[in-house]
Amino acid sequence: MNTEFARLANDAAKVGTSGRWDTVIASIKFLAQNPGSANDWWVHVFGGLCCQTFSEYLALKRTYETKQHGDVALLAWRARNLLELWVWVIYCTKGRENARRLSQQALSDGIESLEGPYKSVGSAAGECGIGEQFSLSYKMLSKLAHPTATQIVAAPNEAREALQRDNLYGEGCRFFSGAFNALERELLAQTYDPVGRVIVNQYGSQRDEEEVTVHG
């Protein structure tokens, strides 16, 4: 793994070892118990984003560390999932109405809604000003996630596959860190004051201040 992708992998790993991951989970638990009036849906959206983001990162990491022949497609798929989650996190943290839109769309997801209106992840990326980056990354990851003509016809090449594995893992870590950083800012802003005391979240209910450790 080259220096840049090693840095991306280390940055992602530090989210867990530094205690930041645990702090965000504690924040979600606090907000779930103290959602405030008509704010359950918001907590549900951000709780779901956290759960999916953490789960996909761990799956990506497990796939990379297991190192099985032919796992490039799986790594590409995992990295693409993290790319999409990064977009949805940025989209929802841009405004409460965006999070509401995603929540309402989830209620209508299903086979019966295939012909109905919905917010695509590409459209959300465009609204957040990251449309070009999303498009390029999505195309690249999709080429490796599916059996393209090149993959079918090309002879096995261990060196090329090793490089692809490193690059895909690094990209997945990049999207995970981007999503996590945005989630952390949003959730801690709703839960903690600058000196680390639990406060009333702007849509929540009153609770006595409690000293906590907030990791930067």
For 91-146, the pLDDT digits (tens) are 999 999 999 999 988 766 554 555 556 789 999 999 999 999 999 999 999 999 98
In terms of Cα–Cα distance, which of 103, 99, 81 is closest to 91? 99
For 45-82, the pLDDT digits (tens) are 999 999 999 999 999 999 999 988 889 999 999 999 99
DSSP string, 45-97: HHHHHHHHHHHHHHHHHHHHHH--TT-HHHHHHHHHHHHHHHHHHHHHHT-HH
Predicted model pTM: 0.84
Kindly compute the dihedral angle of the four CA atoms of residues 46, 50, 89, 209, in this order, to the nearest 10 degrees. Answer: 50
For 12-34, the pLDDT digits (tens) are 999 999 999 999 999 999 889 88
pLDDT for 204 equals 42
The answer for residues whose C-beta is within 8 angstroms of residue 185's C-beta and 6 or more apart is 93
- Rounded Cα distance between 165 and 159, Å, is 10
DSSP assigned state of 194: T
| 165 in Cβ contact with 172 (< 8 Å) | no
pLDDT at 6 over 70: yes
Average pLDDT score, the chain: 84
Helix, strand, coil fractions of the chain, as percent rounded to 5: 70, 0, 25
pLDDT for 193 equals 55
Read off the pLDDT band of 200 (50, 70, 90).
very low
